[in-house]
Amino acid sequence: MRTSHNGYCSRLQPDLSRFNSWRALVDLKNRNALITGASSGIGRAIAIALAQQGSNVIINFRSNEDLAKEVLAECNKYSKKNIAVRADITKENEVKEMFGKIKKDFGNLDILINNAGIYDGGDNLTNIEVFEKLWENNFLAQVRVTKYALEMMKKGKIINITSIHGRLGHGPRGATGYGALKAAFDHYTKNLAKNLAPDIIVNAIAPGKTLTPIWGDITKEEEKEYAQDHLIKRFITPDEIADGVIFILKNDAVCGEILTIDGGMGIKTFN
């Protein structure tokens, strides 16, 4: 402390230079960002939100090229160095080829959003086939993508899209495997954060019921019924999840956290 001219003690301004290892990325302009499963739903919303921030967006998709092109066209309204890349992230050779293209076109990667995944509610506690499919699509594929991404990231941020169903006690009885593998993804997120900080900051977002194409052509009545699990009594929108992604990317103090955006589903009590 030092004494000011009027006799009161005033604090010296702290030296903030040591906090600048990542602060430059708070400005997301011209940052290279890969979003898996970005041709629709939450991934689409995140890709567009990042483009609106000026990021260079890499739109990964598995099969629907037409939808991916639509997302690319929307992103190009806001930033220009954007591409769409087909790759099934459950296949090592396709992931390796995708990252080869990213390295050639962009040189490095600043942001990874592990969004791709599937829902399968067809398991009955011990259906090995369903568990294996979920293991491949909702956990091992994300580890594989992260492996290649880390080879291209000196500093950066990773956000994993998990689920409220991965929280202990919140998994649906009809989808045991889905909840179990999302819980594993939560755990993986926290251990990545422990190992990679401060150079690479890792977090996750756990959405509740979000209105994406995975729900199919549900009626307004069905939508209202399903949304009763939320305290807000409506579905979450993909844009609201994308808002959470941008918040985390711009806040260096959030590390190893799982941001819950579930409309109050996790704390809902039953009368």
CB atoms within 10 A of CB 212: 19
Catalytic status, residue 226: no
Backbone angles phi, psi at 258, to 5 degrees: -120, 100
Amino acid at the residue 190: K
CA 92 from centroid of its chain's CA atoms: 21
Rounded CA gap, 83 and 34, in Å? 10
* The two three-digit tokens of residue 139, written as one number: 């956990």
Burial of 68 (0-12, 13-18, 19+ CB in 10 A): buried
Alpha-carbon distances, residue 111 vs 51, 250, 267 (angstroms): 13, 12, 31
Coarse DSSP helix, strand, coil percentages of the chain, rounded to the nearest 5 percent: 45, 15, 40
Torsion of the alpha carbons at 120, 122, 125 and 129, rounded to the nearest 10: -80
C-beta neighbour count of 88 within 10 angstroms: 17
Task: Output the six-digit token pair for 269.
Answer: 């009590």
- From 8, 178, 188, 226, the catalytic residue: 178
Three-state secondary structure call for residue 10: strand
Taking alpha carbons only, the member of 218, 212, 203 closest to residue 236 is 212
Catalytic residues: 178
